[in-house]
Structure 1
Amino acid sequence: MTTLAPNDEQPPRSIGDLIEPMGSGIFRAVEPLQVAAILESQGLNDKIARERYGHDDVFSLAEAAYSHIAAMNTPRPPAGAVLRRARPLAQMLHGLLYGLPAALLPAASGLVGTQWLVPGLVLTTGIGWVLGSAAAQLAYSLVGKGFPRSAGRTLRTGLILGVVAAMCMASVLALVRNGPVALVALCVMQMAFQIASGILLFYRREGWLAAMMLPAVMAGIAYIAIGDSRVGLLAVCVGVVCIAAVVGAALLLTLAAGGDPPAAEPPLRTLVRPDVRALLPSFLYALLTAVFLLQAEARYVLDRTDIAVAGAGLVLGMGVLEYRAHVFEDEARAAIRKVCYPAEFTRHSRRLLAKGVLICLATLSVLAALPLSFLYFTGTLSYESVAMAAAHVAVGGAYFLAFLLANQGKVVLLCLAQGVALAVHPVGRLLLPAGSPALADVLLFLGAASLFFVILLALMSRSLRDVKQYR
């Protein structure tokens, strides 16, 4: 079973990302209307202001930019400098950080039971994926508008809702299917970690997350090495303490987000009302992606673990996809300063896109070899597991392209593309003859993943002609 980061979608950009590439002219503006004129001269319209920066129109964006410039206490970077968004080590480790609790799964299965462990994790992962994505996007939008305290409150609310949803879902599952009480605790802890770790990454506290989860990882490894039930119980207890520390740190960060003393901000309901409608496509896309990936794995988590674990490399590679997406945008914005004509930029950006896609596919292929090697040495490698690993490589390549397209506001197109992939799998699975082998289903999923990748590649190649998207 694989899990993904709850905030994998690219968030709206901040005001700083807007101002830095504009040159010195915007810093000499004496009123918001002058800033608006500069923005419109650069090709920014109301649609881009809404989808990329979270503002209703260009004039609202201009007022925020003018206020931001007036409040700046540090000198502007030298002319020609580009504000870089890529953080190599931190971003590439995001996938590994999200997967740290996996070290506790063997110990937890001894308390909950394998027949309950994986179904509970699948359900909580799907719910947390959607809730975390929605909360993170709203929070990024609020930060871009200059309301950090409201952004923290949004993240805090998402964490609470996620924990409550996990508790209710697990309780119903335990009552209806006569499951153990430990299942409820497992689902709550999984959901709490998933959303709280996303909050720590939102505030760029990757080091905190790694340090707080290190004892739990070591305890989980100790249980795997020793195999004693008492060590397993101790590992679970250490894991609970570590996850509680992660949740506490996340809550403290959201409470401290407004500064000291916190600046006055409008009511949260007033701030998020304009964003709710724009958030619906992103919410739908998060839901579709969760359904597409998790439904393909969920049916194998109990009786075909070789297929279920074959896609684990995608989890480890999600951070690399995020980092390469930021690198592409940094290099594309830098390229605008080096070329004279749009055709030159298109040719250069195509090379950058091809480079990014190849690096992502190569990295995911190497990571996919890790679980396949484990299956080989344990004598459980199969054609189905190889096909499932290949499908996850294709999905990962599509997610890299989806990061870029989402950052351009093309979320509706992403929903349509994901809908086409869902029409192939699982809907296409209904057309398979009764009693078809698992290989037929996995190959169908591989075809759907490959189609998803090709569609997004075509959409992204087309968007390279629109130079103003990269200003």
Structure 2
Amino acid sequence: MTTLAPDEGAARLDELIQPLGTRVFRAVEPLQMAAILESEGLNDKIARERYGHPDVFSLAEAAYGRVALMEPPRPPAAPVLRQARPAAQMAHGLLYALPAALLPAASGLVGPQWLMPGLVLTTGIGWVIGSAAAQIAYSLIGRGFPRSAGRMLRAGLVLGVSAAVLTATVIAVVRDGPVSLVALCVTQMAFQIASGILLFYRREAWLAIMMLPAVLAGVGYVAVGEGPAGLMAVCLGVVCVAGLVGAAILLTLREGVAADPPASEPRLRTLLRANLGGLLPSFVFSLLSALFLLQAEARYVLDRTDLAIAGAGLVFGMGVLEYRAHRFQDEARTLIREVCYPAEFTELTRGLLARGLLICLSVLSTLALLPLTFLYATDALSYGAAVMAAAHVTVGGSYFVAFLLASQGKVAHLCLAQGLALAVHPGGRWLLPDPHSALADVTLFLTAGLVFFTVLLVLMARSLRDVQRYR
């Protein structure tokens, strides 16, 4: 049996008790505490080696005595259902795309052969880190830990910027690129994570106002086309992003301070250790999604601009997908209070799903015409660009359904479906008659998108029969 010092034993008891929540405060005797510990998988061996007690019953007596000295935690507030916000949510895609106004100026300073590979890599890394941090933060807020959610978002910001520094430095050193590449990639990553934090706290207006000077400067450079104007636009963009980072950090520090004193929440490490397994599928899905989209476009960012920009409509339409997903949830919750039978609910929600999906596909198709129209006006339109745009519309419809499935906790199913799509593209690329043909490659990407879309629709159709998930 391991012998622990009194302070260490008390600390380990606190680490054991805190993740168990309010259940331990309802125990009226040590035997009930022992039942709680055994339900968490603790046995005599763990009690001896980890906590220095001969068996679970001895550990339960110590834990019961420790809980008696602790103040019962305040029960979390009743969860507030996040209602759909049409204007704000539909603007999310546009807000995320604001730095695109600075790309001509940045490209003129760094060179597209350096800038684009760096941005593709940092965008993918930022997507994964930002999504994971936001998912964990949402979970913590739902459990009544707003301060810990803020700490998680700040940690994601630091991790993302550090990853951008490392990635851009490796590209610059290996390929003998300019030092300015590192600064621009870090700025892009800082914007991506910080803007996600502002949207997390529903500060869309802040994001738009703070980035407006940089957007205007970027548009001004396109109109003027002179080197000094490009440098001024990029410098102003860096200043605006720095302001965004400051605002994001202040938000994470301010939110929840009035509601909870600092001592009322466990350490973030303790909370993460208790719930990391449940959050792993969301992280994997974010990783697979970023890989699926970015690998399809990354190979064309330098020598096939028409293919690289053909999918831009999906970026602008992501906010519409988010809004329609929230709207579906709101309408489904309303329906479940109005119908009497599960079969009736299933039939009506099929109509809601079809309508939401039709709206999403229509909006994405309209947005996809914008880059295609530009390519046509500049005599750069190709069959490959049209197929690439169609593929992004299909993938966008898939992610609308994916949002709905994720809200029902079917993230593991999403990982399998996304893995299947990756097996088709790029996995099936070696089966192409001409693997170097861009048209054949984007057609295969469209096929992968259709496979992904079909699998998700089948999963969603089955999910509509599970009425209890919509309560």
1:86-165 pair list within 5 angstroms? 86-165=84-163
**Cα displacement (A) at 1:433:** 3.1
SS state at 1:399 partner: helix
Which residue does the alignment assign to 1:17? none
Distance 1:67 1:433, change over 3 A: closer
**Cα displacement (A) at 1:387:** 0.2
1:64-463 pair list within 5 angstroms? 67-68=76-77, 83=81, 85-260=83-258, 263=261, 264=263, 265-434=265-434, 436-463=436-463
**8 A contact 1:322–1:403 mirrored in 2:** yes
C-alpha distance in 2 between matches for 1:314 and 1:68: 37
Residue deviations 1:156-214, cap 9 Å, x none? 00000100010011111111110100110011001000000000000000000000000
**8 A contact 2:435–2:441 mirrored in 1:** no
SS state at 1:465 partner: coil
Which residue does the alignment assign to 2:47? none
Q: Between the two proteins, what is the percent identity of the paired residues? A: 70
SS state at 2:77 partner: helix
Amino acid at match of 1:102: A
**Cα displacement (A) at 1:261:** 7.9
Residue deviations 1:335-359, cap 9 Å, x none? 0111110010000000000000000
Amino acid at match of 2:459: L
**8 A contact 2:434–2:440 mirrored in 1:** no
Q: How many residue pairs end up in the alignment?
A: 402
Distance 1:84 1:268, change over 3 A: closer
Amino acid at match of 2:112: T
C-alpha distance in 1 between matches for 2:328 and 2:408: 13
C-alpha distance in 1 between matches for 2:347 and 2:259: 50
**Cα displacement (A) at 1:315:** 0.4
Distance 1:363 1:182, change over 3 A: same
Which residue does the alignment assign to 2:63? none
**Cα displacement (A) at 1:84:** 5.7
SS state at 1:146 partner: coil
Residue deviations 1:92-136, cap 9 Å, x none? 000000000000000000111010111001000010011001100
**8 A contact 2:364–2:396 mirrored in 1:** yes
Name the TM-score, length of structure 2 as normaliser: 0.83
C-alpha distance in 2 between matches for 1:103 and 1:327: 31
**8 A contact 2:88–2:204 mirrored in 1:** yes
Amino acid at match of 1:332: A
Distance 1:374 1:64, change over 3 A: farther
C-alpha distance in 2 between matches for 1:312 and 1:429: 23
Amino acid at match of 1:279: L
C-alpha distance in 2 between matches for 1:460 and 1:434: 36
**8 A contact 1:32–1:66 mirrored in 2:** no
Distance 1:392 1:179, change over 3 A: same
**Cα displacement (A) at 1:275:** 1.6
Alignment RMSD, CA only? 1.9
SS state at 1:339 partner: coil
Greater CA deviation, 268-277 or 324-333?
Answer: 268-277
C-alpha distance in 2 between matches for 1:331 and 1:83: 12
**Structure exhibiting the larger radius of gyration computed from Cα positions:** 2
**8 A contact 1:200–1:206 mirrored in 2:** yes
C-alpha distance in 1 between matches for 2:327 and 2:447: 29
**Cα displacement (A) at 1:435:** 5.4
Distance 1:83 1:179, change over 3 A: closer
**8 A contact 1:311–1:388 mirrored in 2:** yes
C-alpha distance in 2 between matches for 1:97 and 1:429: 34
C-alpha distance in 1 between matches for 2:371 and 2:86: 24
**8 A contact 1:388–1:442 mirrored in 2:** yes
Greater CA deviation, 225-234 or 212-221?
Answer: 225-234
Unaligned segments of structure 2, at least 5 residues: 1-24, 28-39, 41-71
Name the TM-score, length of structure 1 as normaliser: 0.83
SS state at 1:68 partner: coil
**Cα displacement (A) at 1:68:** 2.4
C-alpha distance in 1 between matches for 2:163 and 2:75: 41
**8 A contact 2:332–2:349 mirrored in 1:** yes
Distance 1:165 1:67, change over 3 A: closer
Higher relative contact order (CA 8 A, sep 6+): 1
Amino acid at match of 1:313: G
Unaligned segments of structure 1, at least 5 residues: 1-30, 34-45, 47-62, 73-81
Which residue does the alignment assign to 1:18? none
Amino acid at match of 1:256: R
Residue deviations 1:67-94, cap 9 Å, x none? 425xx9xxxxxxxxx9561000000000
C-alpha distance in 1 between matches for 2:147 and 2:82: 25
Distance 1:261 1:285, change over 3 A: closer
SS state at 1:338 partner: coil
**8 A contact 2:429–2:435 mirrored in 1:** no
**8 A contact 1:64–1:145 mirrored in 2:** no
Residue deviations 1:326-379, cap 9 Å, x none? 000000000011111001000000000000000000000000000000000010
C-alpha distance in 2 between matches for 1:431 and 1:380: 28
Amino acid at match of 1:381: L
